Structure 1
Amino acid sequence: MQDDWSLLGPLQWIRYVNKRVTVTAGKDEERRGWLLTVDPVSASLVLVDFREDGGTSVHVVMGHAVEEVQVLEEADEEMAERLRTSFLPSSSCSLDPEELRRRRGGVRSWLQKNRVPVEEEGDELKVAEVLTIRAPYGPEDCCSSNQIILDRIQRLIQNLIQTDP
């Protein structure tokens, strides 16, 4: 279907995301599954297969080995949502609102003490308009596309947790 997968680039790869595909790699290797994402650096594909027993299998096909990608079917809205949410952490936070308010205030104060610009926006903390911290305000609750800032803020929050008895 394409000449050289790794040379196509992200704009062409995105056309295959959320589709059930068959990937041919190497001489006799063939994988089928829902294409969850493509790594923009290595062109590697992440295929997800939802088994009937309720389990999920994930396969990574290295981009350099891909010879052909064929679309078998498009995801309907239900499947697209399942793919979108399958690997997100569960948002079940069993802390009461007062504890969450205390944690949010503690993290905000700690970041300010460490000269990090932080503002409260509803239940979230925003750091320099490039990072968001959601409840329950731990290192794993940080979200940013800037890996350097993400790593530094996560380490700061981890230091707060380690020093807080």
Structure 2
Amino acid sequence: MDDISVQTYEFNASKEDPLFLNSLIFKYVKIHVLRDIVYHGYLESIDPLQYSVILSMTKGNECKKIFIPGHAVLNITVLDNFDSLKPKNNEVIFTAEDVLEKKQKMVSWFKKNLLPVIEEGENIVVGNISILPPYSENDICALNPIVATEVRKMILNMP
């Protein structure tokens, strides 16, 4: 364990740098939260509005995901050299053809449901919501969580 490089970041200061927060995704981290609780695992996602995080924790061959509210996170320590522990379910591989097919299917689904949809580069834009590749219900970018939830439901109902 001596060859592990460690970097600790105060979470509130890091909120001002979204690119930095994005660079933490899929890194093995130690998250220190309120009440002196510490979690270890792979950082799967950071909510850009509330700064809540989803952490994948491995124990043996099992992977457990936990949700940590953003207000409870005090600091994040990045631990390197743990690549062999990375959960297998993050290794989803999409081909370019799969992604393009999914994009076309989603655009036609939104049009069929009479929603104003346009394509901006790789993104699908429905009103003020963007859907990013690989175009799943988890790839929605929106400022309004209620509208995002409705779009998510629509994507989940897509044939």
Structure 1-normalised TM-score? 0.51
State whether structure 2 residue 134 is matched by structure 1 residue 128. Answer: no
Residue number in structure 1 paired with 2:65 = 58
- Which structure is higher in helix share? 1
Contact 2:63–2:87 under 8 Å retained in 1: no
Task: Quote the sequence identity (%).
Answer: 18
Residue number in structure 2 paired with 1:69 = 76
Residue number in structure 2 paired with 1:32 = 40
- Deviation track 1:32-86 (CA, whole Å, cap 9, x = no partner) reads 111111111111121102332x432111222112112111125649948742539
Structure 2-normalised TM-score? 0.52
Aligned residues between the structures: 122
Distance in structure 2 (CA, Å) of the matches to 1:13 and 1:109: 33
SS of equivalent residue, structure 1 residue 2: strand
Runs of at least 5 residues in structure 1 that lack an aligned partner in the other structure = 89-103, 118-126, 132-140
Larger radius of gyration: 1
Higher relative CO (Cα under 8 Å, sequence separation at least 6) belongs to 2
Residue number in structure 2 paired with 1:100 = none
Cα distance change, pair 62–74 in 1 and its aligned pair in 2 (3 A): farther
Contact 1:20–1:71 under 8 Å retained in 2: yes
* Root-mean-square deviation over aligned CA pairs: 4.4
Structure 2: which amino acid aligns with 1:41?
L
Residue number in structure 1 paired with 2:14 = 8
Runs of at least 5 residues in structure 2 that lack an aligned partner in the other structure = 1-7, 95-104, 126-135
Residue number in structure 2 paired with 1:97 = none
